[in-house]
């Protein structure tokens, strides 16, 4: 079976894990500090503050708390998103307001979002769908117009650029995921990037049980035994071994991004003339793609998926829209017609770092053969 995802775990990651384990300081420590520094260098933003956390979901939860979102507030979010985003809004006691996505970018439709703003709207979550980035200048203008905090879910766009600017360098609050299948994995992990030292202090307290101890103490592989706690906090910090793996991955981000881009370009080239298949509207320049997706007519998606599975190709669905889930079916929402279609058409094909282009060709040929043989 050709897998949907395949982590790039090589000798460097194994060696880095061993060194972190042998250090004898397993929790948050010097590797975490070094990982944050490297992420900061990668996003090239001297005026931003980076904190590593245990998962992207933890990062999103912390981001909402930093944005001051709580009970009684509304958060506008595209229903075409990962359930992590909906869970954290629910967890902070705020209300989800589902917005439609754009048909060509699959990112939030800001024109539709305009119709959803009320006096209770506190924040907007915008998510880059893989190689298709939101129009972040428009997002910033939208947020300024309505005095909202922006949470940029960049789980898919770590290492990508928007108009030449690295993702993470321009948003109010930006969150990355380094989970097992992401382009740069820490085995599990996330990064939150904020814009002020006050927000960073809050992130530090929220990620470590509310403890008011300077992160610098733990970054020396030590702990402070006395501190105050003034707020509720979580156990959301990153641990040394995860950061060590992340550091090994960051050293190969050039290869990771290039091999993934090459695979996407090849998929798009091979699938461009397959009737009924829509490929992403992207030349894959300046991006570090997480997924390669296609859209096929509604009645064919599940049959194509089954056909590919029978023929040794695993695929994925990113995603089922949020308002289709029982927990969120009654949330406030605008017109969701694009999302309702996309949710039935979308299919992710195998994509991973250092993917052999022969595999891409094999998968593309099987997609083509479904439409040739089965559909006719």
Sole binder of ligand PLP in the list 13, 28, 56, 238 (CB under 6 A) = 56
Q: Which residues of 44-55 are buried (b: 16+ CB within 10 A; e: fewer)?
A: ebeebbbbbbbb
Quick note: the x/- pattern for ligand PLP over 262-301, rule CB under 6 A, is: ----------------------------------------
153 touches ligand PLP (CB under 6 A) = yes
Sign of CA dihedral 168, 173, 174, 180: positive
Sole binder of ligand PLP in the list 127, 184, 218, 367 (CB under 6 A) = 127
Choice between 57 and 160, CB closer to ligand PLP: 57
CA dist., res. 87 & res. 331, Å (int): 13
> Any residues with CB less than 8 A from the CB of 199 and at least 6 apart, and which?
49, 66, 173
Binding segment for ligand PLP (CB under 6 A), chosen from 82-90, 166-174, 192-200, 250-258, is: 82-90
C-alpha distances in Å from residue 336, one per residue of 53, 113, 130, 221, 332: 33, 11, 20, 49, 11
The site for ligand PLP, by CB under 6 A, has a size of 13
Binding segment for ligand PLP (CB under 6 A), chosen from 80-88, 249-257, 265-273, 362-370, is: 80-88
133 touches ligand PLP (CB under 6 A) = no
Binding segment for ligand PLP (CB under 6 A), chosen from 14-22, 36-44, 149-157, 219-227, is: 149-157
Going by their DSSP bridges, the two strands 149-153 and 121-127 should be labelled as parallel
61 touches ligand PLP (CB under 6 A) = no
CA dist., res. 289 & res. 261, Å (int): 6
Choice between 181 and 375, CB closer to ligand PLP: 181
CA dist., res. 12 & res. 16, Å (int): 6
The CA dihedral of 313, 248, 153, 86, to the nearest 10 degrees, is 60
Chain contacts with ligand PLP (rule: CB under 6 A): 55-57, 82, 84-85, 127, 153, 155-156, 177, 179, 190
């Amino acid at each position: 079976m050709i897998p949907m995802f395949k982590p790039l775990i090589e000798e460097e990651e194994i060696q880095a894990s061993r060194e972190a384990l042998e250090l004898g300081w397993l929790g948050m420590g010097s590797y975490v500090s070094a990982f944050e520094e490297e992420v900061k260098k990668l996003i090239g933003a001297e005026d931003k503050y980076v904190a590593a956390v245990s998962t992207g979901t933890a990062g999103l939860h912390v981001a909402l708390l930093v944005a001051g979102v709580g009970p009684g507030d509304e958060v506008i979010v595209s229903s075409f998103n990962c359930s992590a985003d909906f869970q954290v809004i629910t967890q902070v006691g705020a209300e989800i307001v589902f917005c439609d996505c754009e048909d060509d970018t699959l990112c939030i439709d800001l024109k539709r979002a305009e119709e959803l703003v009320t006096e209770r709207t506190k924040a907007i979550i915008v998510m880059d769908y893989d190689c298709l980035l939101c129009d972040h200048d428009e997002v910033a203008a939208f947020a300024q117009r309505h005095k909202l905090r922006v949470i940029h879910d960049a789980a898919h766009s770590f290492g990508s650029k928007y108009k030449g600017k690295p993702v993470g360098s321009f948003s109010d609050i930006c969150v990355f995921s380094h989970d097992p299948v992401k382009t740069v994995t820490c085995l599990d992990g996330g990064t939150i990037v904020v814009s002020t030292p006050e927000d960073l202090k809050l992130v530090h307290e929220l990620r470590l049980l509310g403890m008011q101890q300077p992160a610098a103490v733990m970054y020396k592989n030590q702990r402070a035994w006395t501190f105050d706690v003034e707020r509720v906090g979580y156990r959301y910090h990153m641990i040394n071994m995860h950061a060590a793996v992340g550091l090994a991955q960051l050293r190969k981000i050039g290869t990771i991004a290039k091999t993934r881009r090459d695979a996407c370009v090849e998929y798009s080239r091979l699938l461009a003339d397959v009737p009924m298949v829509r490929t992403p509207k992207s030349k894959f320049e300046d991006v570090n793609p997480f997924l390669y997706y296609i859209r096929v007519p509604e009645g064919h998606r599940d049959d194509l998926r089954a056909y590919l599975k029978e023929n040794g190709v695993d695929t994925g669905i990113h995603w089922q829209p949020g308002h289709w889930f029982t927990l969120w079916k009654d949330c406030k929402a605008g017109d969701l017609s694009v999302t309702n279609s996309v949710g039935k058409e979308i299919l992710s094909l195998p994509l991973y770092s250092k993917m052999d282009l022969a595999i891409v060709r094999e998968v593309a040929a099987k997609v083509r053969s479904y439409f040739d043989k089965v559909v006719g």
